[in-house]
């Protein structure tokens, strides 16, 4: 119970660090993504990156690439697994 709750908070925190307003997503979508990530054992940062990659182009200008680079250095996300998302942000050099 509490594990799922804290996981959701970590996803929201990761979205905020990326520069994404969590209210950009419907609560049903956000909770669904959090549930899927938690059930699959995925890091919250990867779930946040997947969610951010699905935003419209207008939202992509606010994203913080330095945060993504730090997550890769800290091994919070696997760049090869996140190939599509990194490409959408124009961060192919991180692969």
pLDDT tens track for 9-35: 999 999 999 999 999 999 999 999 999
How far CA 61 is from CA of 36, 40, 64, 95, in Å, comes to 27, 29, 8, 21
pLDDT of 95 reads: 58
Closest CA to 48 of 77, 26, 73: 77
**What is the pTM for the complete model shown?**
0.89
pLDDT of 88 reads: 79
Which is higher by pLDDT, 71 or 61?
A: 71
What integer best gives the mean pLDDT of the chain? 90
Q: Cα separation of 47 and 39, whole Å?
A: 12
């Amino acid at each position: 119970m509490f594990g799922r709750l804290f996981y959701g908070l970590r996803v929201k925190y990761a979205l905020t660090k990326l520069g994404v307003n969590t209210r950009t997503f419907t609560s049903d979508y956000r909770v669904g993504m959090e549930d899927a990530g938690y059930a699959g054992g995925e890091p919250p940062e990867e779930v946040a990156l997947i969610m951010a990659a699905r935003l419209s182009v207008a939202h992509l200008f606010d994203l913080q690439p330095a945060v993504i680079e730090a997550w890769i250095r800290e091994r919070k996300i696997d760049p090869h697994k996140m190939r599509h998302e990194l490409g959408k942000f124009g961060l192919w050099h991180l692969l």
